[in-house]
Amino acid sequence: MSLSIFKLTFASVAFASLSLGADTLTPPAPQKVVVVILENHDYNELVGDTVNAPFLNSVISQGLLFTNAHGVDHPSQPNYLSLFSGSDQGVSNGNSTPTNSLNLNVLLAYLKAAIADPKTPAAQLPILQGQLAQVQAALAAGIDPKALAGDAFPASGNFVSLDGNPVCLPFNSPNLGSVLMKAGRTFTEYVEGLTEAGVADNYGYAVVDKINNPADPYTVGYAHRHDPASNWISNTPTGNQLPRYMVQDFANFPAEARDFSFLPNVSLIVPNTINDMHDGTIPFSTRTGDQWCRKNLSNYLAWAKTHNSILIITTDESDTDPTNRIMTLVAGDPGLVQAGTSDQYLSHFDLLRSIESMFSTEYAGFSSQVYGAVFLNGRIFATSPAPIIVRPTQILSGVTTSGAQYQFIIPKPWNGQLLLYAHGYADISAPVAIPNSAPELQIYDAFTSEGFAVAISSYSKNGWAVKEGIQDMRDLQARFSSQVGKPGRTYLVGVSMGGLITVNLAENPGTFDGAMSICGVVGGAPASYQRFGDGRVVFDYFFPKVLPGDLLNQPKLDYSIGSPTFNLIAATLSAGFTAPGNPTLQFASVTGLTGSSLNELIYSAVTLLGGADFSEMLSRTGGLNFYDNSATIFTGSNNDKALNAGVRRYQSNPDAAAYLRAYYQPTGKLTIPLVTLHTTEDPTVPFSQEAGYAAVVARAGASNLLVQQSADRYGHCNVNSSEILTSFQGLYGWINLGIRPAGGDITVP
């Protein structure tokens, strides 16, 4: 039978496809599934709007778009409940109350306090001020101050049973979390704003008595009606109820590829009411939500593509579409998701059924009565598959006498030019291997698709292997010329520590034509270690005995998201905000932590303290201390005199300090054009290193060979492939056409 049967309507597919046999209808078996719920946009308000929603449309181009997806009701709450439990739990357009019975005078006080709070993000202020104006107008008009209808204000669930009586929380009906638990799987709902709303503990876990309080106090950004799983959590869960740790603040969702393997099997992400596109007007709300998705989902999507995992993005309901048509898209590992479009009818019940089928669970509520997405041979099926583009390549690999592994990727046709890729820091305890993270594979693919050959070295050692990496990159170039042929042009591209290797090679005469450093340690390792060391001693001053040992004598700790050490630091800093003198804010001020939110501030602090593990570099200096703060004057605290008197002091060994300067410190004496690309809020390698390096280059008289560009966002190496290619195209034009690229911001939203 021809598979063209799937071109018919879904009703036809559901029955006619059964003759294909059970094996062909096998659902995908993903490792991880992440589901993100956005708000109140019609299908056509997102799909095709590449100006205001470029990230979402780029995901559509990579994955599977359901063109006939629909919400189940209006307003928001029944859609969230239906997706999570297969039932609207009695909430519908007829009985859902868009706001609490909040006293308007109390709400007025809440809003004024939030606007005056210096910790309130600037992006939220116009929304808060607009809501304040509504409340003031209502009071001026003499409206009953006990209640004000309007979807702008968060509400507790308005739950009723079929007989019309109120239902007490927590629920005990089957839901996505409970069926996964029964099947031996794991689930977590990550809700943005729990901590700011005061309904989470120091670890970001929901507090039952606060989150399900019927009073549902007004909070900025968090809306209980958008938080379905919290209606099932209990301190003593029974039946289908859920433990409270299954509802967590979004701050606990990992940001780096190394941590995604620790995610539960299914994650449900609920952004706050600004970032989910609810608050504000279109297209401004669209841009805000799209930028949030790019910032918070790009790394996971890249990881999912090579780790048997899936990303699902949907909206709860339409904005004005009379059929409640919404955008629902699925992307991830191509072995699980067939790229293209599907005209299959898909509701929130179907989406729930699809996830349940992937993990072989029971079916919750009405999901047992629908079909879910069409599966074929272990993949989510596209009725109109995207065309497959095959790029033939030749891959050569081997091992050098020094023990470095190498790989050459040569596209066909090859444009005769070579890119040498220098990777970043690799854990000293890990085996030496060719870098193959999802972002790096994207870099390789981006350049080979443009006709460039790519050569990669593992380096002969891991850790701060700058000295070894420099030699291995020179050997890599020579080996490529002997095995493949001498390229017409050779470019260096390095990331993080590899950026420092790239800068070193660009400063010393060789046979390279141009270089590009991405989030590189251009200020050198001495500056980085000085910052890490300063961070640890200042942390120990404000929070004594929280971390074991001291700067030069400490056990090996795991600082990854969700680890005991991460949770300990996060809890300590969260508590520090309310402690006398606000030691957390003082610590952030003295150390210059980056970030525009509490979540980013905590992640920056953990990154800083994790970098203060000096053991690997001490092994390179023969155990001799290279850190010196004997003359450092710390500033930015409430009492700098006490800080400088109380902070622990260290004095470096001259030979150890000289070692770092010799092998890890740029000179600025560029011999070829260099373009640098750096995020403006990098928590690992501060953006300020770029200004420091520019000064070093200027003193060396080589400023004509340096162009510095930036991407305006938070994160280390958090740049996308479009920005990388933009920077490289500038370098390419500089070398081949003599057109020097402009510096400054090149952010691609």
User: For residue 509, what are the contacts with CB-CB under 8 A and spacing of at least 6?
Assistant: 671
User: For residue 404, what are the contacts with CB-CB under 8 A and spacing of at least 6?
Assistant: 432, 457, 458, 459, 460, 468, 472, 475, 476
- 73 vs 289 pLDDT, higher one: 289
Give the pLDDT of residue 7: 23
β-strands 379-380, 375-376 pairing = antiparallel
Give the pLDDT of residue 196: 82
- 596 vs 270 pLDDT, higher one: 270
Q: What six digits make up the tokens of 570? A: 């996060």
What is the mean predicted confidence (pLDDT) over 16-34? 62
Q: Name the DSSP class of 426.
A: B
Percent of the chain scored above 70 by pLDDT? 85
Element (H, E) at 660: helix 654-664
Domain containing 716 — which CATH number?
Answer: 3.40.50.1820
Average pLDDT of the chain is: 85
Separation of alpha carbons 50 and 63, rounded Å: 16
- Asked if residue 199 has pLDDT above 90, the reply is no
Direct distance between the N- and C-terminal alpha carbons of the chain, in angstroms, rounded to an integer: 45
From the list 79, 24, 85, 67, the residue with the least C-alpha distance to 368 is 85
β-strands 309-315, 325-332 pairing = antiparallel
Q: What six digits make up the tokens of 399? A: 């091992």
pLDDT tens digit sequence for 473-501? 999 999 999 999 999 999 999 999 999 99
Whether a cis peptide bond, with omega within 30° of 0, leads into 283 is yes
- Asked if residue 145 has pLDDT above 50, the reply is no
Q: Is position 404 within any domain?
A: yes
What is the mean predicted confidence (pLDDT) over 376-395? 80
Q: What angle do CA 635, 640, 643 make, to 5 degrees?
A: 105
Q: Spell out where 627-743 has E strands.
A: 674-681, 706-714
**Total structural domains within the chain:** 4
Q: What angle do CA 96, 99, 104 make, to 5 degrees?
A: 155
Q: Is position 15 within any domain?
A: no
Residue 425 near residue 496 (C-beta atoms within 8 A)? yes
Q: Is position 360 within any domain?
A: yes
Q: Is position 65 within any domain?
A: yes
pLDDT tens digit sequence for 549-595? 999 999 989 888 888 999 999 999 999 988 999 999 999 999 999 98
Q: Which residue stretches of 148-264 are H helix?
A: 176-182, 208-211
From the list 475, 466, 520, the residue with the least C-alpha distance to 659 is 466
Is the same domain home to 121 and 229? no
What is the mean predicted confidence (pLDDT) over 605-610? 94
Domain boundary, last residue among 140, 168, 199? 140
Separation of alpha carbons 85 and 175, rounded Å: 4
- Asked if residue 8 has pLDDT above 60, the reply is no
Is the same domain home to 740 and 686? yes
Is the same domain home to 113 and 92? no
pLDDT tens digit sequence for 636-685? 999 999 999 999 999 999 999 999 999 999 999 999 999 999 999 999 99
- Asked if residue 282 has pLDDT above 50, the reply is yes
Domain boundary, last residue among 617, 646, 675? 646
Is the same domain home to 275 and 366? yes
Looking at the DSSP bridge assignments, the partners of residue 675 are 516, 707
- Confidence band for 3, pLDDT divided at 50, 70 and 90: very low
What is the mean predicted confidence (pLDDT) over 284-295? 91
Separation of alpha carbons 78 and 93, rounded Å: 8
- 15 vs 207 pLDDT, higher one: 207
Is the same domain home to 688 and 636? no
pLDDT tens digit sequence for 416-425? 999 999 999 9
Q: What angle do CA 403, 405, 411 make, to 5 degrees?
A: 155
pTM of the predicted model over 0.85:
no
Is the same domain home to 566 and 700? no
Is the same domain home to 411 and 358? no
- 16 vs 516 pLDDT, higher one: 516
Is the same domain home to 598 and 670? no
Give the pLDDT of residue 522: 96
Domain boundary, last residue among 646, 675, 697? 646
Q: Within its chain, how far is the Cα of 27 from the centroid?
A: 27
Domain containing 239 — which CATH number?
Answer: 3.40.720.10
Is the same domain home to 250 and 316? yes
Quickly tell me which residue has 């079929």 as its tokens.
162
- Confidence band for 135, pLDDT divided at 50, 70 and 90: low
Q: Is position 201 within any domain?
A: yes
Separation of alpha carbons 622 and 618, rounded Å: 6
Q: What angle do CA 26, 32, 33 make, to 5 degrees?
A: 80
Q: Is position 119 within any domain?
A: yes
| 620 to 457, 464, 521, 602: CA distances (angstroms) | 21, 9, 18, 30
Whether a cis peptide bond, with omega within 30° of 0, leads into 413 is yes
- Asked if residue 396 has pLDDT above 70, the reply is yes
Is the same domain home to 423 and 570? no
Q: Is position 386 within any domain?
A: no
Q: Which amino acid is at 145?
A: P
Give me the DSSP letters along 523-574: T-HHHHHHHHHHHHHHHHHHSTTSSSSBTTB------STTSHHHHHHHHHHH
> How many C-beta atoms lie closer than 10 Å to residue 724's C-beta?
24
Give the pLDDT of residue 436: 87
Is the same domain home to 112 and 79? no
Residue 86 near residue 367 (C-beta atoms within 8 A)? yes
Domain boundaries, position 599: 532-540+553-646
- Asked if residue 300 has pLDDT above 90, the reply is yes
pLDDT tens digit sequence for 167-183? 567 889 999 999 999 99
Q: What six digits make up the tokens of 440? A: 């790096």
Q: Which residue stretches of 395-517 are H helix?
A: 438-448, 466-483, 497-507
Is the same domain home to 303 and 431? no
Give the pLDDT of residue 24: 43
Q: Is position 595 within any domain?
A: yes
- Confidence band for 391, pLDDT divided at 50, 70 and 90: low
pLDDT tens digit sequence for 329-371? 999 998 899 999 999 899 999 999 999 999 999 999 998 888 8
